[in-house]
Amino acid sequence: MRLLLTTLLLPFVSIVLGQPAELPPVTMQQLVAATPAFAQDAEALVLLENGRTQLEIVESEQALLVVHDYNVRIKILKKEGVDRANFEIPLYAYGKDFEKIMDIKGFSYNLKNHKIQETALAKDAIFINKESPYRHVARFTLPQVEEGSIIDIQFRILSPDILNFRTWQFQEDIPKVKSVFTAVIPATYQYQVTLRGPYKLTDTKSEVLRDHFVLNGVRNDCSKLTYTMDSIPAFKEEDYMLAAKNYTSAIFFELEQYYLSSGSKIRVTKEWRDVDRELLGEKSFGGQLKKEDIFKEILPALLEGKNTALEKARAIYTYIQKTIRWNDVYGKYAEFGIKESLAQHRGNVGDINLALIAALNAASIPAYPILVSTRSNGLPNNLHPVISDFNYVIGGAEIDGKTVLLDATDALNPFGELPLRCVNEKGRIIYSKKSSEWIPLLNEAPSMVIFSFLGRLDSLQNLKGNLAITYKGLDALRKRNEIVSFPSEEEYLEHMQTRIPNISVVASSIRNVHEIDETLSEQLEIEIPLSDFVHQGVLNFNPILMNSTSKNPFNLTERTYQVDMGSKRYVTHNVHIELPANLQVKSSPKNLNMRLPDEAARYSYQSALEGNRLTFKQTVALNKAIYSVDEYFHLKEFYSRIIQQQHLNFELQKTD
């Protein structure tokens, strides 16, 4: 939902120091009050939150800054909600300057002996951690917090990014009784103010603050806008979704233009052709794409024996993957530059993928940068180019008449596939000679896991055999990264044994962990004791030895956002078991075939007894990467039926 609220255009202003509305004193009634109906299942409840954002001349910093004041009161409803006393507040870098946090205050309130006991947050309990060159985090934990407590916090953030106003999140992962946000907008700043999400505002107020700010000796007016939303349900996250902030109720401020004190107008909302030109002229973006000469000496040996564009592109992709190690820093711009990143064998996303694009172009393979907003970062603006929406860059290479999407940051990611973090609807191709355009961010290769078991039931006591598990697509990337996170493959296999306690692994091996263009597989020789499943001479046996679906990933009564898998997905179980001659199948689950409308998904459960061999095959085929809101109910029922079917057992009985 995208609702245009207002567009502001006022004379230039400056702002006198302002504060959000103070929280009223905590009352006995608040501590003992019943939980409102819309928050019955919540672990915590926001009773009231206030925010205020404005421009101020901050004397201590001798600068014009965006100042954001925030205070909130939260009631802890359950023991699980005690973690709400832990706060992490991110602070970001803008050029050489960082956001700063100040005036942090916190209090916890408990009912003790029919009196309200107040405990204050100690100043030495506040820590500022430098997590990266671009992000710091303020951390603190309020004391004496338990089930039934009320906690208050307040703080102020000073931001040097005066061209970006605060987004206010009305809806979050716990419900709120009341949320109030006040924006004081400079008169010469023109914003498009937009409410997104499923819930409407309870109230909106506006007023003009006369002579509110003095700049260069001139007093000016401001526009004060106050937005209120009441009884806000918690946003419930579920599997297979994009960033929650794409769907929660929030208010956004998009700066379109502003006036300097000289009277000249600066337009911020630009056309894509303006953004293209700026990016390609930027030293850390377009300037890196011009460095094709760096690869001239490398390419002849690298491409020797490679005849097609695809072969050459694969070789270059592998070279960049192995030469520049990702430092885990996102970015659309190069951090060190191609030359230095190649020399020091490390770089951020921009360093790696801009180097890949330059190398491909040096080999006469047309390639372009594609701006991406990662899944956790949210969807980019559709209506206007907002360059700050994008936090990542990948490559697009023209090979055999199609654009192949490339991200070389992960050494275990195959050519032509995107890691899940990049699969976020669409990216923007930045061409050098024509206007940029949107391109879908899709993985054509499906994710796939196949369990194949060949074994023998030697009695009613033990099942022995060989289990092969093969992985492709996103499942292979996930599994490869899991494996290499252990010091050795042996330690990974030892850990795997702890996750399948009912199965004894006699021997094991892994194939193609680093051969990323090959199928990843785990080979396990296993034994499964079945004596606990024998009752009155009948063995109850389930042939789905691993990875059965025990919990429905879709449980919401209504899901207001689409299901996004990242790719199509297939999971198959193939089981072949040799039965003893004196054992017969007394009963077996009925075969089942299910299909969703338009073949959106398919489920097959088939078994047969041929002589003494029991064969079983199950396939779950999700034939779409994305399912709409209208398809959610069908998908939910689809998984419910699968779970029911997977709980059914075969009954095996001796004939003598």
State whether 412 and 484 are in the same domain. no
Residue 351 phi, psi dihedral angles, 5° rounding: -55, -45
Domain boundary among 267, 283, 315: 267
* 26: exposed, middle or buried (Cβ count in 10 Å: 0-12, 13-18, 19+): buried
State whether 417 and 451 are in the same domain. no
pLDDT at 630 over 70: yes
Q: What is the pLDDT of residue 227?
A: 97
What CATH number did the domain enclosing 39 receive?
2.60.40.3140
State whether 427 and 451 are in the same domain. no
Q: What is the pLDDT of residue 265?
A: 85
For the segment 222-273, what is each residue's pLDDT rounded down to a tens digit?
Answer: 999 999 999 999 999 999 999 998 999 999 888 888 877 777 888 876 789 9
Residue 15: pLDDT band (50, 70, 90) is very low
User: Looking at the 3D structure of the chain, how many domains does it have?
Assistant: 3
Distance CA 211, CA 482 (A): 60
State whether 239 and 309 are in the same domain. no
pTM value is: 0.85
Do 617 and 611 contact (CB within 8 A), yes or no?
no
C-alpha separations of 433 from 279, 352, 367, 430, 436 in Å: 13, 23, 12, 9, 9
Q: Which residues constitute the domain of residue 391?
A: 272-440
State whether 645 and 624 are in the same domain. yes
Mean pLDDT of 427-450: 94
State whether 408 and 276 are in the same domain. yes
Q: Which of 70, 55, 67 is nearest to 105 (CA)?
A: 70
Domain boundary among 247, 267, 287: 267
Do 171 and 248 contact (CB within 8 A), yes or no?
yes
State whether 262 and 282 are in the same domain. no
Q: Which of 203, 151, 204, 140 is nearest to 174 (CA)?
A: 151
Mean pLDDT of 110-114: 94
Distance CA 431, CA 441 (A): 17
Residue 211: pLDDT band (50, 70, 90) is confident
Q: What is the pLDDT of residue 16?
A: 40
Domain boundary among 440, 474, 491: 440
State whether 145 and 195 are in the same domain. yes
pLDDT at 281 over 70: yes
What six digits make up the tokens of 60? 């201590």
Residue 8: pLDDT band (50, 70, 90) is very low
State whether 43 and 190 are in the same domain. yes
Q: What angle do CA 205, 210, 212 make, to 5 degrees?
A: 100
Query: Given the structure tokens 């302002």, which residue do they identify?
Result: 18
What CATH number did the domain enclosing 377 receive?
3.10.620.30
State whether 484 and 603 are in the same domain. yes
State whether 230 and 170 are in the same domain. yes
Residue 215: pLDDT band (50, 70, 90) is low
Percent of the chain with pLDDT over 70: 95
- The alpha carbon torsion through 238, 244, 248, 250 (nearest 10 deg) reads 170
For the segment 394-412, what is each residue's pLDDT rounded down to a tens digit?
Answer: 999 999 999 999 999 999 9
Q: Amino acid identity, residue 197?
A: G
Distance CA 505, CA 527 (A): 7
State whether 499 and 623 are in the same domain. yes
What CATH number did the domain enclosing 568 receive?
2.60.120.1130
Do 220 and 12 contact (CB within 8 A), yes or no?
yes
Q: How far is CA 630 from the centre of its chain?
A: 23
Arithmetic mean of pLDDT over the chain: 91
DSSP for 283-341 reads: TTTHHHHTGGGGGTTTHHHHTTT--SHHHHHHHHHHHHHHHSEE-S---SS-SS-HHHH
Give residues with Cβ within 8 angstroms of 38, minimum separation 6.
Answer: 175, 231, 233
